[in-house]
């Protein structure tokens, strides 16, 4: 049986839940580019602009973890 504290469970749930949502957002961006016939530069622009917010969240998480060490 798993002996997990509530804080550990919340941490894992947050990480997995946000990871799943980010994967789904990338799928939505891909589908949007595909349906609009964006072309190569359109794909790059959509992923760069819309994906930058998710990348910022990931970078913030990495930086805060590095500062805690």
What are the pLDDT digits (tens) for 13-40? 988 998 899 899 889 989 998 999 988 9
Tell me what the pLDDT averaged over the chain comes to. 87
Long-range contacts of residues 15-23, Cβ cutoff 8 Å, at least 24 apart: 18/57, 22/54, 22/57, 22/58
- The residues, ordered by sequence, that sit 6+ positions from 51 with a Cβ below 8 Å of its Cβ are 25, 26, 29
- Stated pTM of the model: 0.67
What pLDDT, on a 0 to 100 scale, did the predictor assign at position 68?
Answer: 85
Per-domain boundaries in the chain: 21-68
């Amino acid at each position: 049986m798993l002996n997990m504290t509530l804080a550990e469970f919340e941490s894992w749930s947050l990480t997995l839940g946000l990871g799943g949502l980010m994967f789904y957002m990338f799928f939505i961006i891909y589908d949007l580019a595909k349906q609009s016939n964006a072309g190569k530069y359109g794909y790059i622009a959509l992923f760069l602009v819309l994906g930058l917010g998710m990348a910022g969240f990931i970078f913030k998480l990495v930086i805060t973890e590095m500062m805690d060490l």
